[in-house]
Amino acid sequence: MRYLDYAATTPVLDEVVEAMLPYLRGTFGNPSSVYGVGRDAKKGLEEARERMAAAAGAVPSEIVFTAGGTEADNLALKGGAFRARSMRRNGNHIITTAVEHHAVLHSAEWLEKQGFRVTFLPVDAEGVVDLDALASALGPETVLVSIMLANNEVGTLQPLEQALRITREGSRALFHTDAVQALGKVVLNLEELGVDMASFAAHKVGGPKGSGALYVRRKTALEPVLHGGGQERDLRSGTPNVAGIVGMAVAAEIAAGEVPEEAARLSQLRDRLQEGILAAIGGVKVNGAGAARVPGTVNVCIDGVEGESLLLMLDARGIAASSGSACTSGSLEPSHVLMAMGVRPELAHGSLRLSLGRATTAEDVDAVLEVLPPVVERLRSIAPSLSRKATPAPAAVARR
């Protein structure tokens, strides 16, 4: 099988498995316990915190371990919004973008039901957030801004430094970024970047599923979402998954150390794949190609093709890919990211995301370029009724 869905998940690295095994066997204790096996687990937990912090350019005390990126996003938005509102009597305004991961979007929508007002910022045709809209939306009631660093579907990198500067000039709001797709793909130094919170997930960088982290800048106050034993500085109660946390830290350390070399290699493979698709297939639109992107993501819309059928035929020929984000790949609704970018719905239904990673080779790219054109030709021949009209899509608008 040719695996080209690294943005969905990654194979666990051998080094990660080896690091985790002791905490699944001999060193199995609860890190809150005072006896030896518990102290050993606690030591492993804190060493992992140090390694994770180093990989992200933070200090260990700023790392809060969670059960994944989704929980980290929920803690950032809900915890940040509720605490900020309690500290500021009139603060009930949240700003995010229309292209965020659903963990952020659905959290924001839930917060609307709790009395918060949410602005969903529009993006341009490349998926880049409208910074003028951000500046206009900020006000004295704004308590939280959440703008992702790297988009999970099209790979677009957001101008986070500019967005953060605008936010700081226009409000006292907390600033969160979903950095799940950025770790191991771009150089990260959260201390220098200056965000208040950043979310991470282990399984995007060769770590185990079910482990994540939220960077919480010192002196940033959050309301806990989970209540219980008070672990993780009372921000995330529950017995820590020490094995998973250790695995995440090792994976993050490896991924961060490989960024310069891997970014160059994957950028070359991405460009080769993108150019090959455009040369071999007509009616293809590359999404986000005009903006800065993470090195390994190619997202295209193929006119006259339905995404689910395309994935099934590719799978039958040994190619693993996705249509939009993995979390919504079972949905027949067009990608909310592509819709926000102004892609017409019938074209968005034919989206294909090919994402490259650590084990991707030139042979994998060549295999896709050999298989994809005849698959598209076959699908177009059996579904001629699919629209190929170039009708313009409505512009994305901010929702309040």
Long-range CB pairs of 105-112, under 8 A, 24+ apart, other chains included: 105/336, 107/73, 107/74, 107/77, 107/78, 108/77, 108/146, 110/78, 111/77, 111/78, 111/81
Residue with tokens 């950043």: 198
Crossing angle between the packed helical segments 14-24 and 242-257, to the nearest 10 degrees: 160
Nearest-angstrom CA–CA distance, 378 and 372: 10
User: What DSSP line would sit under 297-363, residue for residue?
Assistant: EEEEEETT--HHHHHHHHHHTTEE-BSS-GGGTT--SPPHHHHHTT--HHHHTTEEEEE--TT--HH
Catalytic annotation, pick one of 292, 320, 327, 393: 327
The CA-based dihedral angle spanning residues 2, 364, 273, 374, taken in that order and rounded to the nearest 10 degrees: -60
Burial class (CB in 10 A: 0-12, 13-18, 19+), 307: buried
3-state secondary structure at position 45: helix
3-state secondary structure of 16: helix
Rounded distance between C-alpha atoms, residue 372 and residue 310, angstroms: 9
Is 301 an active-site residue?
no
Query: Regarding beta strands 284-286 and 297-302, do their DSSP bridges make them parallel or antiparallel, or are they unpaired?
Result: antiparallel
Give the dihedral of Cα atoms 154, 313, 12, 253; nearest 10 deg: -20
Report yes or no: 66 and 201 within 8 Å, Cβ to Cβ. no
Listed in sequence order, the residues at least 6 apart from 375 whose beta carbon sits closer than 8 Å to its beta carbon are 310, 313, 314, 317
AA letter at 207 = G
d(CA 251, CA 207) in angstroms, rounded, equals: 5
Distance (Å) of CA 274 to CA 41, 214, 262, 302, 326: 46, 34, 18, 12, 20
Query: Largest Cα–Cα distance in the chain?
Result: 70
- For the annotated catalytic residues, the residue numbers are 327
